[in-house]
Structure 1
Amino acid sequence: MCLATGPVSAAPLPSAAPHAPSAASHAPVTAPHVPAAAFRTRAAAPDAPVTTSRAPAPAPAEFGTDWHDPLTAAPATSRPAAKSCEVTLAEARFSDFTPYRGTYVPPDGCGDRWSKVVLRLDGKVAGRQYDRLGYLHVGGVEILRTSTPEPSPDGIEWSVEKDVTRYSDTFRRGGDVEMLIGNVVDDTYTGIIDVKVTLTFYAQGRATRPAEVPDRVLTLQDGTLTTPRNSERVVAEVYATGSGGGCEEFWYLTVPDPAPYSCKAAGGPYREVQIKVDGRLAGIAEPFPNVWTGGWSNPFLWYVIPGPRAFDVKPIEYDLSPFAGLLDDGRPHRVDVSVVGVPEGRSGWSAPVNVLVWQDARRAHVSGALTGVEMDDLANTSSYTPGSPERLDTAGGHRLTVSGYVETSHGRVTTTVRRVLANTSVHRWTDGEDTDGLKATWSDDETVTVDGRGAPRVTRTHRTYTMDGTTTLGPDGRLRTVLRLGDRAAVDDLRGGLRTAWSRLDDTYAGDATYTTGVPRDQRHAVGTTSERYTLRGSGGCHDRRLLTEQGVLTVDHRYC
């Protein structure tokens, strides 16, 4: 019994016919520096609820035909008090794999420099349907990757908001819009996914600070990148997702031979997303272990609260500034993204790339050089222990340090990026996979040091992802899943060794759900409790919210600061 048994699909991602439901989550995409606007401005004692936005609701004895609309504990996207203009990007009903295509025209009346740009997706679906993965492109730039909740027969509605100010360069130009949430609708799977996406632009004014955004947003052309010749900072973002059904949707459970399990990978479950420039390793990262909204064989875990990041897939960021001197020669350079550990010939991963560029406004050409690329050998070992249960222990990791400089109008600027990855997991399962469990931790530590005029600037980011769960299928056909997921990050900004800003994120999901398999929907007698606590604290303020559901009813909604 694989713990995630159905496809989350959308072209051009690999697609497959539906099997059984998968799963989903939500967290805002942010730059390494968490903006103060992401926080509530009023602080409070860490464990003292300051508001209860909903009174406890009575929970039914089991799931019915309808439940609370999906929601998360993540903070809402803040909006400045400024003149705004709204543009509709897409309105579509997805019933197959035909993309929505339209045209974007910049807003009229809010200028062409904005203090903030907010994307909002409103969706609704009713009937029966799996979770589906989708994307939204403007001018070829991916500005949103999302997945969908699974509906109730009576229908659900949900929304996703995202700060997309970083794509302002794209929004200043008109361009083609393409959106797809690949779907299958037939006599059994009846849910048509109905969405509307808007952009709201907030004008700059005396009371609103200009957003610090890249000067250019680029995409790869036939796998190559050509940057402006005065680029001094370059950041690539990669929306890497394992999806489309099949084993790479739940890559963290794969096992090598001779272990007897339904999903095989010669190197076991270790995955690493790498980016190369002209064949040189330029960046490494741990992929986030996404769980979509039918995952771990149990859609009742996700009907109200999705797992972290499922509705707003956060891109992996790679600081390629050490390569800026090399890229500034005016010629195209090859950029490749690959996922280490995927068996040859196996599909299932999608990794579109945007490149964000900051330019030197006082120079037409910035020179420089790549001065060092140092790495350890990639470590990846899996040890299989036969027995009852079977057991696979995995440990993997990698280290990379890249350095380079550019000669700018404000002097030489040297950037050094150091990244250290580690993954450990213990996977246990019984014969027939009637009991299947995983306990895993991924860490991704990054230090970016920028040394130029004045004291060195250092940003340290420590990311930790955790998964601890077990699914058990009893002889009576009752399937129970107990699962805990964690998405954590600690960020410190330092100048001359003194901390100037900091943030701490802890997004923890927990669920316990049981239902009867192999029977019609109205005979499943499903029960389940789920919770999420999303805490974001730092020099900018505090957001701390806890949600609890029982049988699809929201019973607790506390805000602690």
Structure 2
Amino acid sequence: MTVRRVLLVLAVLTAMLGLSVPAGAYVEPGADNPVTAEPPVSRPAGPHCAVTLANHFLSNAPDGTPQTFSGTLTPPAACPGPWAKVVMDYTVSVSGRQYDRIGDLRIGDTEVYWGTTEEPGGPTPITYTVSKDVTEYSALLGEPQSFTGGIGNYLSSVYTGNYDQTVTFTYYRGAAPDVPDAVVGFPAQHLSPAANVTHLSLQNLPRNITRAYLEVTLEGGGCDEQWFSDVPADVAAKYPNAGMCTHGPYREADASLDGTSMAAVHTFPHIYTGGIVPTLWRPIPAIHTFSLQSERVDMTPFVGRLVDGRTHDLAFSVQNNGDSWSVVATLLLYTDHHWARTSGALTTASVAPTAVEHVTESAISGGTRVVDSTSRTDVTAGYVDTSAGRVSTRVVRTMAYRNDDTVTANGLAQRIVQSDAGTQTATSTAGGRIVASTRHAYDYPITIDYSAAAYVDDQNFSLTGTVDMTQTLVDSVAGASTENVRSYGILSRTNGVTSESDGHSTSRYAGVDDRGHPYVQVLASNHGRVDRN
């Protein structure tokens, strides 16, 4: 992973400050283990079997080189499928000093997990577990599959944290939910401004597909780790000593099939545990830091193409790519259980290849204000001839985006207010009747206040930041939920000694759990500890 970029400070300054300065350097005796307000993954009652993929596997070998774990994942003989649920538990423990890193787990060619890590807080180990429901990948799990995974980590005389990893899959016997009949995944693709298109070859797909979904996880790197803080090039040029990242704040991944634009995919504004000011995230991380959220595109209108027996090109590019992006793509396919062949056609594809942005810049007292906004309404439609007759599907995707960025202190302070909301509505009809209708809505507002204005040199500085981020999801099937994290952090050094390293946070989840049951959780932290009053 690239060296952690502070929101505004020079890349050189980032390296000099070493933004993994542990919270425990000032707040004794350290921080609690990471906690989130999200509901835990539910576990069905009844027989189950666990399979271990990694057991206290270190991210770095004794000589310090990075290493991954690998093997063959075989369904347990005592728990043959189908399964009511399959859960991945990924437990990580680390001490010392280290940047946040990227971790993944790939089964066959499918990335079933993609996330980042907690930065350690000193000599006392911190431990956390990422649990993920991976039942939707059941079609992969019925036969032995190769797997590889791990955390890409680098050690030095300063950055000593070596991530200890234990990974298990637990298979719960019982009636299987409605899961895809086929899963077609690809290893993560890495884009850059110089190579900003990736092409994935779709071959040997089932000939009897009835529904298709595209799951996409996006992660920015380098200057695009906090892409929402980037400014236009002419604004960055006004403050040459601030080292601001350019290309503006708007990003979307544009997906196409055989050259036909299919969808514009956004991503939640993830912030990693070294992001902006590291003490913002001790011990409550930002939303979905440890398991990045994927976005789902209903591509059922394109099924008529997918079942023609030919090879197809699934392509992605990132609008305004300013540094690097990882794109993780997986197709989830449902098939006709009564016919060996389906057929169909795409009838409408009204999708703009890229978004049209509206950018205004204005001088304000002490700085510059930049407002970047855009919106989309994209429509695709098609039909599939199935054993139940012709089913026509129309998908409408909307998006409204606005980023209002006030830059002051010669580029060393920003106040960012960003809104990003959208919907996906899919309606399927047969014989003039509606046979299926789904609606998914997202809302990802975030407000950031950040200042490095007190910077003197790498031995005398003060970084302060506040972040208020919310994720609201409303799904006609899964229900509705809202998660919010509000954090404040400060990190200061005087004459080379850490003089202040502190923070406090609140986190609230209100909605439903994965069983559809009401769930509310509120957390608060101060001085690296969870408040337990």
Shorter-chain TM range is: 0.7 to 0.9
| Cα deviation digits, residues 436-465 of structure 1 (max 9, x gap) | 221101112111112136534221221010
Whose strand proportion is higher, 1 or 2?
2
Map 1:421-460 onto structure 2 (within 5 A): 421-452=399-430, 454-460=433-439
Give the drift of 1:435.
1.9
Shift of 1:352: 2.0
Q: Name the amino acid aligned to 2:284.
A: I
**Aligned pairs for 1:317-336 within 5 A:** 317-336=296-315
User: Which of 273, 279, 290 lines up with 1:311 in the alignment?
Assistant: 290
1:3 aligns with 2:12: no
**Cα distance, 1:62–1:185 mapped onto 2, change above 3 Å:** closer
Runs of 4+ in 1 over 6 A off after TM superposition: 4-7, 16-19
| Counterpart in the other structure of 1:512 | 488
Report the residue type matching 2:303 in the other structure: A
Tell me if the contact between 1:134 and 1:147 (Cα under 8 Å) persists in the aligned partners: yes
Residue matched to 1:32 = none
Equivalent residues in 2 for 1:102-501 (5 A)?
Answer: 102-153=71-122, 154-204=124-174, 209-220=175-186, 223-226=200-203, 227-243=205-221, 246-260=222-236, 262-266=243-247, 268-296=248-276, 298-343=277-322, 346=323, 348-375=324-351, 378-387=355-364, 388-452=366-430, 454-473=433-452, 475=454, 477-492=461-476
> For residues 63 and 106 of structure 1, what CA distance do their matches in structure 2 show?
46
- CA, structure 1 residues 330+61, in 2 after alignment: closer, same or farther (shift >3 Å)? closer
What's 1:93 paired with? 58
- CA gap 1:254/1:473 in 2 versus in 1, 3 angstroms: closer
Return the offset for 1:375.
3.3
Provide the rounded CA distance (Å) in 2 between the counterparts of 1:270 and 1:392.
12
Hey, what does 1:70 align to over in structure 2? 34
Rounded Cα–Cα distance in structure 2 between residues aligned with 1:423 and 1:517:
37
Q: 1:315 to 1:168 in 2, by over 3 A?
A: same
C-alpha spacing 1:362/1:438, structure 2 compared with 1 (3 Å): same
The residue type paired with residue 480 of structure 1 is: T
Please give the per-residue CA displacement for 1:205-233, whole angstroms capped at 9, x wherever unaligned: xxxx3221101111259721132000111
Q: Tell me, yes or no, if the aligned pair for 2:214 and 2:329 is still in contact at 8 Å.
A: yes
How far does the alpha carbon of each residue in 1:219-272 deviate from its partner, in whole angstroms, 9 at most, with x for none? 2597211320001111111121112xx211111111123113533444x21111
Root-mean-square deviation (CA), in Å? Answer: 2.5
Indicate if the aligned counterparts of 1:5 and 1:295 stay in contact, CA closer than 8 A.
Answer: no
The aligned length equals 493
Secondary structure at the aligned position of 2:226 is classed as: helix
Q: CA deviation at 1:288?
A: 1.4
Structure 1 residues 390, 179: closer, same or farther in 2, change over 3 A?
A: same
- Amino acid corresponding to residue 239 of structure 1 in structure 2: T
Taking every aligned residue pair, what percent have the same amino acid on both sides?
A: 29
Question: Which residue of 2 is the match for residue 40 of structure 1?
Answer: none
> When the two structures are superposed, what TM-score results if normalisation uses the length of structure 1?
0.83
Q: Residues 80 and 18 of structure 1: is their aligned pair in 2 closer, same or farther, counting only changes over 3 Å? A: farther
Tell me how far apart the structure 2 counterparts of residues 465 and 481 of structure 1 sit (CA, whole Å): 19
| CA distance in 2 between partners of 1:320 and 1:364 (Å) | 20
Could you tell me which of 494, 509, 524 is aligned with 2:499? 524
User: For each residue in 1:274-322, what CA deviation from the matched residue of structure 2 results, as whole angstroms up to 9, or x when unmatched?
Assistant: 21100101122222111010111x1111121110111111212111111
The 3 A distance-change label for structure 1 pair 150 and 6 is farther
Amino acid at match of 1:225: L
Gaps of 5+ in 1: 8-15, 24-59, 494-501
Q: Deviations over 1:165-197 (max 9, x none)?
A: 000111112121111311111110010011111
Contact 1:530–1:550 under 8 Å retained in 2: yes
Decide whether the 8 Å contact of 2:383 with 2:391 is kept in 1: yes
Residues 146 and 5 (structure 1), Cα distance of their counterparts in 2 relative to 1, 3 Å cut:
farther
Give the partner amino acid of 1:200.
T
Quick one: distance in 2 between partners of 1:4 and 1:104? Answer: 44
Aligned to 1:53: none
Give 1:543 deviation, angstroms: 0.6
Cα offset for 1:19?
Answer: 7.0
Amino acid at match of 1:489: L
Check 1:472–1:378 CA distance in 2 against 1; reply closer, same or farther (3 A cut).
closer
CA contact (8 A) 1:115 1:210 kept: yes
**Distance in 2 of aligned mates of 1:19 and 1:398:** 41
**Which residue in the other structure is 1:535 paired with?**
510
Q: Which has the higher contact order (CA 8 A, sep 6+)?
A: 1
